Structure 1
Amino acid sequence: MRNNLFLALAVVVLGGVISGFIQTNQPNPSPVQTEPVAMPSAAAIEVAKKALEQERQVKGVFHDPEKSAQWQIGMVNDGSSRVGYAEYVCGVLKEKGAIAPSTNVKIIDVANLLVPAKDRNMHGMGTVDCNDYRVIDAGDMTPVIGG
């Protein structure tokens, strides 16, 4: 009986050693290959700009891939939130192929462009992440001039 117990213990210990050896000597899996992130072409950006400039309410279209909100759309501040319009702009950008992996749209008060930089209210009237339509900023509807 004692020999059987010793033999069973030896098998368990030896099995653990062999299992540990096999696990530690497995080749490292190759790193996961990811597809390169597709950025919108200059032509797609221009097509999107032209489409947005045709909108009656839009007073200016600005694109700067270095900004946190890459697309800034100038509109007259009528005191309402423009989150819905920012979502609409995201749809136009997607339709025109002008979406990058982290595209944000910010609706800005065009009056910001008419006052000296030091006096500007830089809050938008609504900012949206175009990838998941998450509202980043619901907006500040305080008019820049006369408010």
Structure 2
Amino acid sequence: MEDEEDLEALGEQLYDLIYPKHIEIAGKLTGMLLELPVPVLTQMQQDETMLSEALEKALRALKVPQSYSNNGMLKEEYEASASSDHLGEQLFELVDTYNTGHTQKITGMLLEHQKETVQHLLSEPSLLEEHVNLALKALQELVVNDTEAIL
């Protein structure tokens, strides 16, 4: 329970840092960042450059212009009109935030799914995290099996 309270407090602090520059989507950006490991979030609170870089990645992943409220398009409309390349770029940016060291491979694995499934992964951070972890586990098992085959 204490971990949840700590994460909630951290989220509130991040929101306060994000809100002045991204009023319309501060909640969404905060939610995206809260998917990162707590030590990374704690460091972001202290390092404005690191926070700015993470926010830029999140914004690129969403492909939401900073004038979100002025463009009249919802995030769902962006996703519905996204090309396969666009989806790949979005997915790559989000997968990269997990710092697995296998961003390209995992992105490629996830892009094997149908377009609608990829769009769903982009809109559901917890589902994306689950799929990233599954892909990482598969890659790790592959490395172990290859190593055993060599020996």
- TM exceeds 0.5? no
The structure in which a higher percent of residues are helix is 2
Q: TM-score normalised to the size of structure 2?
A: 0.29
Q: TM-score normalised to the size of structure 1?
A: 0.29
Which protein has the larger Cα radius of gyration, Structure 1 or Structure 2? Answer: 1
The structure in which a higher percent of residues are strand is 1
Higher relative contact order (CA 8 A, sep 6+): 1
